[in-house]
Structure 1
Amino acid sequence: MRNHTLVTTFILLGFREDPTWQIVTFFFLFITYLLSVTGNLIIILLTLLDSHLKSPIYFFLQKFSFSLTSTCIPRFLVSIVTKDKTISIEACFTQLFAGLIFGIAQFFLLGVMSYDRYVAICKPLHYTTIMNTRVCTWLFGTCCLIALLAICPGVIVSLGLEFCDAIIEHFICDYSPILKLSCSDTKSMQLVNFIFAIIILLMTLALVMFSYGKIISTILRFPSAQQKKAFSTCSFHMIVVSISYGSSIFMYIKPSEEERIALNKGVAILTISVAPVLNPFIYTLRISKSKKP
């Protein structure tokens, strides 16, 4: 018999306990969350209502606007106000798996969006045939299905875990800090999660790099007057790709345990708070440029 108390709730430590820092954190996250939700809703409404924005790229931008932000930021804001840092195991795992589904689906969606740009620039005469409504819907559904299947092994194993500690060194429910609390040896599970993450990143990044390699080689054969316009059609997507992959890759540069915790929190803020705020501005620029005569 293992001598431990059954843990039914976790405690999310969050950031510093300093009241001033808590106030700064609250207002920063609240403002970025408000801007993110408002901006992404505007993007969705624009793509739904404007007849000029019915092309496949806007279909994918509309789906991409559903970000990770709402899976964890509102709950963290409430915990700052109420000073209640506890969260039930069920709620914690729901937040974790919802965030994973959104995150994985978005990486595959970035790959699909890069393929859309490849078809638009390299095969313009066949664009409407290749990227028709049925194909776009199928591609989006496939992204969601892959994300769901990717987290299934983790869900099945995680549901059988028992925990000896309740304190999570994070402000959200993340895999690594949760697995550290388990009573059993989770090294093999952490290794599997790491391998899955690397495979997903490399697969989607390979598709993005292949698509943009073909795009660049095609654009360089254009007359100089057309090159600028061609580059502008995909430059905004490349900004989103850089933010998404850059923040995720840095998560695996972990020099020490203390720096690992601080790095994970910093990357989490960039991924779920800052990036979703930038996306609407990037997309708005993309839409405004595309509507210029």
Structure 2
Amino acid sequence: MQGVNSTIWNFFFLEGFSRYPRSEIVLFVFSLVVYLITLLGNSTLILITILDSHLRTPMYLFLGNLSLVDICYTSASIPALLLNLLSSQKTITFSGCAVQMYLSLAMGSTECVLLAVMAYDRYVAICKPLRYPIIMNRRVCVQMATVSWVTGCLTALLETSFALQVPLCGNRIDHFACEILAVLKLACASSLLMDTIMLVISVLLLPIPMLLICISYVFILSTVLRISSAEGRNKAFSTCGAHLTVVVLYYGAALSMYLKPSSSNSQEIDKIISLLYGVLTPMLNPMIYSLRNKEVKNAVKKLLGKIPLHQTQEHL
């Protein structure tokens, strides 16, 4: 057993969806389309938050950060998935696996914290509107966004560094990416330290932020219901509704993935859940915010209106 434990794998096989070869082309087209839409939608949101002076507010600062997280998150796994769906040898190097695992964990953890920060922003905006410019000033917003990124990156570094030190008795990962839970299933023996680290970080980044979001929205709902103006209530529900939709989509899938008993679902179900929160959610985020937000739609129209004008001036 000691000889097996000391084995160091230079590469891994990614099973992906190879059990269903006929569906791989369909999955390739689906993943490619979703990835391109994700890049386009989130890049557009980042661009308009930078260019449009009306969107230089705390909410759009956090929204721009969320879009950047989504771009990095999907780029960590989807390009590799697309290559593997077309390749007969579905392999990834040890270093590539480490980078993919780290980026996925870092971006996922950052998004968890960032969604909680955005809920606090909405709480201050609706429940303490007169003090909002003071409480959520530019410096505080930048600090909160920075804390989100640092927290996500540091927790991911801790998880990845310990996960890669766990002795593995195989190099065939039953997943389409180097997802940490799938990699740890190859462990020769269970590690109490690794299990404890995973549990503590999962609790810190999933139920606790979710609880803070719920508390924020209890106060928000209480305040909104006391607003006499129907227009004011609709505006508050619109901005909060978009954020809540994203929270339910992301946290619902993540909680079912990381805080469920390991034997409750098959690995195939885990792959589908991973696709849900790792592919569909980043694509839907900009759609949810833009479709429910007049300011974002107006900014996009302005941006689209400037493009042909700029091109025409260049030709002249």
Match of 1:244 in 2: 250
Q: Which moved more, 1:212-221 or 1:181-190?
A: 181-190
**2:199 matches 1:232:** no
In 2: Cα distance, 1:56 partner to 1:46 partner: 14
In 2: Cα distance, 1:187 partner to 1:255 partner: 15
Deviation at 1:224, TM superposition (A): 5.0
- Contact 2:109-2:156 at 8 Å conserved across structures: no
Aligned equivalent of 1:151, options 130, 150, 156? 156
User: Where does the alignment leave 5 or more consecutive residues of structure 2 unmatched?
Assistant: 299-316
**2:222 matches 1:217:** yes
Relative to structure 1, the CA distance from residue 168 to residue 135 in structure 2 (aligned partners, 3 Å threshold; closer, same or farther) is: same
In 2: Cα distance, 1:84 partner to 1:2 partner: 30
Q: Where do residues 1-293 of structure 1 align in structure 2 (5 Å cutoff)?
A: 2-4=2-4, 5-66=7-68, 67=70, 68-225=73-230, 226-251=232-257, 252-254=259-261, 256=263, 259-288=265-294
Q: Which moved more, 1:9-18 or 1:45-54?
A: 9-18
TM-score (norm 2): 0.86
Q: Deviations over 1:203-262 (max 9, x none)?
A: 2112111111110111111115232222122111110011011111222345846x3312
Relative to structure 1, the CA distance from residue 19 to residue 98 in structure 2 (aligned partners, 3 Å threshold; closer, same or farther) is: same
In 1: Cα distance, 2:31 partner to 2:297 partner: 33
- Contact 1:219-1:230 at 8 Å conserved across structures: yes
Relative to structure 1, the CA distance from residue 256 to residue 156 in structure 2 (aligned partners, 3 Å threshold; closer, same or farther) is: closer
Deviation at 1:145, TM superposition (A): 1.5
Deviation at 1:283, TM superposition (A): 1.8
Deviation at 1:76, TM superposition (A): 1.1
In 2: Cα distance, 1:232 partner to 1:152 partner: 37
Deviation at 1:157, TM superposition (A): 2.2
User: Where does the alignment leave 5 or more consecutive residues of structure 1 unmatched?
Assistant: none
Determine which structure has greater relative contact order: mean sequence separation of CA pairs < 8 Å that are 6+ residues apart, divided by chain length.
1
Q: Which moved more, 1:52-61 or 1:225-234?
A: 225-234
In 2: Cα distance, 1:107 partner to 1:190 partner: 20
- Contact 2:14-2:173 at 8 Å conserved across structures: yes
Q: Deviations over 1:97-136 (max 9, x none)?
A: 1111101110100001011111111111111111111111
Q: Which moved more, 1:220-229 or 1:128-137?
A: 220-229
In 2: Cα distance, 1:191 partner to 1:262 partner: 25
Q: Which moved more, 1:18-27 or 1:36-45?
A: 18-27
In 1: Cα distance, 2:60 partner to 2:86 partner: 37
Deviation at 1:83, TM superposition (A): 2.3
Task: Letter of the 1:88 partner, please give it.
Answer: T
- Contact 1:179-1:186 at 8 Å conserved across structures: no
| Identical aligned residues as a percent | 37
- Contact 2:290-2:297 at 8 Å conserved across structures: no
Deviation at 1:29, TM superposition (A): 0.3
- Contact 1:36-1:276 at 8 Å conserved across structures: yes
Return structure 1 stretches of 4+ with deviation > 4 angstroms. Answer: 289-292
Relative to structure 1, the CA distance from residue 175 to residue 290 in structure 2 (aligned partners, 3 Å threshold; closer, same or farther) is: closer
Deviation at 1:191, TM superposition (A): 4.0
Deviation at 1:289, TM superposition (A): 5.3
In 1: Cα distance, 2:56 partner to 2:279 partner: 28
Q: How many residues align?
A: 291
